[in-house]
């Protein structure tokens, strides 16, 4: 188990001349850096430039303000320019865009967007926090009224005003990432008919298909139209509103369109200043968040760093890492480069109507792309003790090293308690620890909150069994490629089997297994499944100890297979319609 101890030594010895710090960008990372700089250096001159009208606001709350979940607009603001200046004695210049950086002169050129005046400001140390900008492809008609991106407070105000002033009955959200899904839910809750268009074969690209499939069915159950594998080619407008043009399909009518297909690092200033960019097209920084110029630091959405799991360069667009980076950069500026940034494992969570979807670390598909050998395991557990009212199921998929059990990724889909479980998993991944820690994790237990064996423990138990060959598994996407001689056995009850089963499976309930061994050919491979995995595992133990050695159990059970099969049928139906 790895432990990192920081001894930063917060003793500041003032220099002969007061330092001057300039920060470009005043939302998450920039505001955090500025406040920390002031706490460490009371005498310094600190200037923040922000091209927008607002500073230090809650990006992640914007969709919920549009949906009237957050009713008071002022609650979106952590600080205002005036309050920031009063509390921290920081010169905050909003509506002022930095248009150039001269590293040799150690100056920035700023432009007041109200007056048009340009002027230079000197610095001793500079912090870049320009963020990211929404991707807005040059599609025909994209400049039509009613087509928006959502990135800042001004965007939010425009969208909210448009929804209120226009007769908005139909909305199309293009892109099924975190923001896209949040916008779809909030627009739906306003009584608007919502369609989601996603070019990929699933929602939420950071998670694996089998987990995304659960949320996709939930979205459809809410009456939202979900179009996967669908490409937008442009926009038209007629007397009834907008028409979203789709490749090889009929256009989708809309009164409002939200473009949410992703963002890209804003590196324009960095490139103009000659700063190094990395492989992921973000601003390159070293472990101390220093750019290629030692007097310029960078934080937030615009930077890139090495992923601690895949060791590949990456960007991350999350508020948590940006805020931490801002604090860390300030520490290194004032106290010397002593605190190393270890990278982010992209822990994220999103509310999808009644469901919660969370992820930490690397998805199996990304591990495969990176050539990292691993095992995946899927378990289904109750959010708390089953005998206490209100327990709801959560599905947990983890990926771990086949060599030593190091936890590489975790994904959870459920209703209650998803957040606290993903935080545990995130901590284990971040420290490079293993599935064995999941087994030993000591949680707070009372029937309303958990079970004696928490879902985290259960995920660890199953993973340990798989890793040590006590439990041999196969996966839902291998069903169609089983050998001809395979014996597929459903070990659920006869009633469950009749309600729905995998084609070609015979039914031998686990409680009858010992009495019906003669019906199974021990010389041919046996593939077992139950609803969630547990009964299949029990049946496997019975068979193996009776000489049936070629026995595997379906990871995640019929539930995973059926969910993915239903999604595949939706896709196949669409393909047939297009043909």
Instruction: Identify whether the C-beta of residue 300 lies closer than 8 Å to the C-beta of residue 131.
Output: yes
What H or E segment, with its residue span, contains residue 232? strand 232-238
Query: How many other C-beta atoms can be found within 10 angstroms of the C-beta atom of residue 305?
Result: 24
Question: What span, in angstroms and rounded, lies between the C-alpha atoms of 579 and 571?
Answer: 12
355-361 β-sheet, strand order: 348-352, 355-361, 407-414, 393-401, 374-382
Give the sign of the dihedral formed by CA 497, CA 498, CA 503, CA 504. Answer: positive
Contact 78, 31 (CB under 8 A): yes
Structure-block tokens of residue 251: 């256009």
Question: Which residues have C-beta within 8 Å of that of residue 329, sequence separation ≥ 6?
Answer: 29, 33, 127, 288, 289, 297, 298, 299
Q: What is the DSSP string of 38-80?
A: HHH-TTSEEEEEESSS--SB-GGGHHHHHTTSS--GGGGBS--
> What angle is formed at CA 435 by the lines to CA 434 and CA 441, rounded to 5 degrees?
100
**CB of 359 closer than 8 Å to CB of 411:** yes
Distance between CA atoms of residues 101 and 107, nearest Å:
6
Question: What is the distance of C-alpha 576 from the center of its chain?
Answer: 32
| Residue 106, helix vs strand vs coil | coil
Q: Which one of the listed residues 19, 40, 60, 139 is annotated catalytic?
A: 60
Whether 377 and 397 have beta carbons less than 8 Å apart is answered as yes
The token pair that represents 128 in the structure block: 């870049």
Eight-class DSSP state of 27 = S
Q: What is the DSSP string of 364-433?
A: HHHHHHTT--EEEEEEEEESS-TTSTT--EEEEEEEEETTT-BEEEEEEEESSSHHHHHHHHHHHHHTT-
String of DSSP letters for 278-339: -TTSSEE--TTSB-SSTTEEE-GGGEEEE-TTT--EE----HHHHHHHHHHHHHHHHH-S--
Distance CA 561, CA 412 (A): 17
CB atoms near residue 404 (< 10 Å): 10
Q: CA quadruple 203, 205, 208, 211: dihedral positive or negative?
A: negative
Host H or E run for residue 462: helix 455-467
**Is 60 considered catalytic here?**
yes
Q: Which positions are catalytic?
A: 60
């Amino acid at each position: 188990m790895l432990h990192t101890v920081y001894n930063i030594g917060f003793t500041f010895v003032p220099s002969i001349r007061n330092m001057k710090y300039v920060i470009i960008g005043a939302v998450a990372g920039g505001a955090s850096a500025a406040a920390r700089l002031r706490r460490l250096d009371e005498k310094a001159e600190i200037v923040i430039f922000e091209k927008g009208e607002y500073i230090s606001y809650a990006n992640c709350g914007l969709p919920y303000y549009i949906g009237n979940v957050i009713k008071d607009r002022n609650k979106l603001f952590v600080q205002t320019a005036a309050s920031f200046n009063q509390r921290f004695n920081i010169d905050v210049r909003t509506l002022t865009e930095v248009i150039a950086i001269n590293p040799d002169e150690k100056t920035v050129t700023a432009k007041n967007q109200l007056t048009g005046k340009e002027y230079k400001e000197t610095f001793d140390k500079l912090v870049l926090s320009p963020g990211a900008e929404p991707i807005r492809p040059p599609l025909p008609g994209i400049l039509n009224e009613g087509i928006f991106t959502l990135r800042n407070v001004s965007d939010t105000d425009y969208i909210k005003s448009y929804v209120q002033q226009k007769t908005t009955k139909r909305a199309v959200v293009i892109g099924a990432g975190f923001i896209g899904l949040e916008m779809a839910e909030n627009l739906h809750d306003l009584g608007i008919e919502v369609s989601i268009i996603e070019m990929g074969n699933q929602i939420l690209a950071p998670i694996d298909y089998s987990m995304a499939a659960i949320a996709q069915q939930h979205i459809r159950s809410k009456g939202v139209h979900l179009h996967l594998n669908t490409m937008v080619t442009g926009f038209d407008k007629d007397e009834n509103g907008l028409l979203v043009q789709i490749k090889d399909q009929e256009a989708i009518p809309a009164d409002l369109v939200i473009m949410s297909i992703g963002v890209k690092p804003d590196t324009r200033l960095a490139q103009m200043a000659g700063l190094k960019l990395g492989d992921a097209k973000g601003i390159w920084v070293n472990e101390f968040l220093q750019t290629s110029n030692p007097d310029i630091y960078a934080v937030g959405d615009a930077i890139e760093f090495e992923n601690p799991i895949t060791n590949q360069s990456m960007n991350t667009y999350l508020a948590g890492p940006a805020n931490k980076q801002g604090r860390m950069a300030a520490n290194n500026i004032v106290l010397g480069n002593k605190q190393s940034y270890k990278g982010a494992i992209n822990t994220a969570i999103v509310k999808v109507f009644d469901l919660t979807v969370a992820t930490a670390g690397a998805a199996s598909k990304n591990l495969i792309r990176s050539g990292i050998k691993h095992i995946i395991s899927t378990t289904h557990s109750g959010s708390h003790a089953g005998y206490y009212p209100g327990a709801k199921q959560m599905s947990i998929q983890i990926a771990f090293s086949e060599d030593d059990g190091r936890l590489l990724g975790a994904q959870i889909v459920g209703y209650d308690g998803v957040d606290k479980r993903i935080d545990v998993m995130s901590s284990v991944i971040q420290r490079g620890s293993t599935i064995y820690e999941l087994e030993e994790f000591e949680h707070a237990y009372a029937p309303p909150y958990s079970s004696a064996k928490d879902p985290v423990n259960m995920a660890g138990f199953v993973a340990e069994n798989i890793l040590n060959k006590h439990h041999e598994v196969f996966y839902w996407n291998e069903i169609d490629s089983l050998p001809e001689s395979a014996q597929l056995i459903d070990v659920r009850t006869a009633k469950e089997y009749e309600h729905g089963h995998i084609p070609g499976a015979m039914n031998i309930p686990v409680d009858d297994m010992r009495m019906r061994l003669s019906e199974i050919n021990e010389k041919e491979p046996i593939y077992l499944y139950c609803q969630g995995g547990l009964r299949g595992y029990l049946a496997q133990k019975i068979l193996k100890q009776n000489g049936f050695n070629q026995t595997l159990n379906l990871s995640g059970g019929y539930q995973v297979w059926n969910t993915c099969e239903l999604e595949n049928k939706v896709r196949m139906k669409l393909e047939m319609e297009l043909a």
